[in-house]
């Protein structure tokens, strides 16, 4: 089970890193910027979570796999980016899987560090979406997370993180609860993309 989680988490890191590398290439960053943006996109959310809960040094700096994955993703993207752009849907599916896993593992870790369910769920969401926000800030884009023309991204993350936090605090802990919440986020996000669900914006007077 732990090996399965690790495998999925590394897949999520890879997907996030590819999205960072693609953005860097689109913005004409040099190869240093490509690796940098891949690494920050993939690891930024988890580093922020670990710094906030006091779990220093963050796991990204103690587990070599976390560290080499973004470099590998950047290298692959550097050479194969036209093919990857054609595989945009595949990248989005991986990204949704990474979102689900990161939100759940972030929430569970925050609960283990003594946070209440609501703040733990928020930190789970930070883990899942933080890297993408940093990617967009560094590339001088309005964060994709908040653009009204994007399909629901944070809403699935919040729903899944709250679910796992509430189940956990009612003693329904374990791999099945976690896996279920991760699948919930994953499927919710895929359906939102397929059906083009958007979050509302504030109304405006004519």
Task: Check: CB of residue 137 under 8 Å from CB of residue 79.
Answer: no
We find the least distance from the C-beta atom of residue 113 to its own copies, in angstroms, to be 7
* Of 5, 3, 10, the residue nearest 65 (C-alpha): 10
Chain centre distance of CA 198: 19
Spatial separation of the C-alpha atoms in residues 129 and 41, rounded to whole Å: 9
Task: With contacts defined by CB under 8 A, name the span among 4-12, 20-28, 180-188, 189-197 that binds its own copies.
Answer: 20-28
We find the least distance from the C-beta atom of residue 115 to its own copies, in angstroms, to be 6
Task: Check: CB of residue 143 under 8 Å from CB of residue 153.
Answer: no
Interaction residues for its own copies, span 80-119 (CB under 8 A): 81-82, 113-116, 118-119
Q: Which two tokens stand for residue 119?
A: 């703040």
Spatial separation of the C-alpha atoms in residues 49 and 8, rounded to whole Å: 19
148 binds its own copies (CB under 8 A): yes
Spatial separation of the C-alpha atoms in residues 28 and 25, rounded to whole Å: 5
Name which of 82 and 194 has its Cβ closer to its own copies. Answer: 82
- Sign of the C-alpha dihedral computed for residues 100, 101, 106 and 108 taken in this order: positive
We find the least distance from the C-beta atom of residue 129 to its own copies, in angstroms, to be 9
| Near its own copies by CB under 8 A: residue from 143, 169, 173, 197 | 143
Residues in contact with its own copies by CB under 8 A are 24-25, 27-34, 36-37, 47, 51-54, 56-58, 60-62, 64, 67, 77-79, 81-82, 113-116, 118-119, 122-123, 133, 137-140, 142-143, 145-148, 150, 153-155, 198-202, 205
């Amino acid at each position: 089970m732990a090996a399965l989680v690790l495998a999925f988490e590394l897949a999520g890191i890879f997907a996030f890193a590819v999205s960072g590398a693609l953005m860097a290439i689109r913005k004409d960053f040099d190869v240093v910027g490509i690796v940098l943006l891949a690494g920050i996109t993939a690891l930024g959310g988890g580093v922020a979570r670990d710094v906030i809960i006091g779990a220093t040094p963050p796991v990204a700096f103690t587990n070599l796999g976390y560290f080499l994955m973004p470099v590998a993703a950047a290298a692959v993207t550097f050479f194969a980016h036209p093919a990857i752009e054609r595989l945009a849907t595949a990248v989005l599916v991986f990204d949704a899987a990474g979102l689900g896993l990161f939100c759940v593992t972030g929430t569970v870790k925050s609960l283990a560090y003594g946070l209440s369910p609501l703040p733990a769920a928020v930190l789970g969401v930070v883990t899942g979406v933080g890297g993408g926000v940093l990617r967009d800030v560094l590339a001088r884009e309005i964060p994709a997370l908040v653009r009204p023309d994007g399909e629901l991204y944070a809403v699935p993350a919040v729903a899944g993180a709250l679910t796992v936090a509430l189940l956990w605090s009612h003693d329904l802990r374990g791999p099945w609860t976690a896996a279920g919440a991760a699948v919930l986020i994953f499927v919710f996000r895929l359906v939102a993309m397929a059906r083009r669900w958007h979050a509302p914006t504030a109304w405006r007077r004519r």
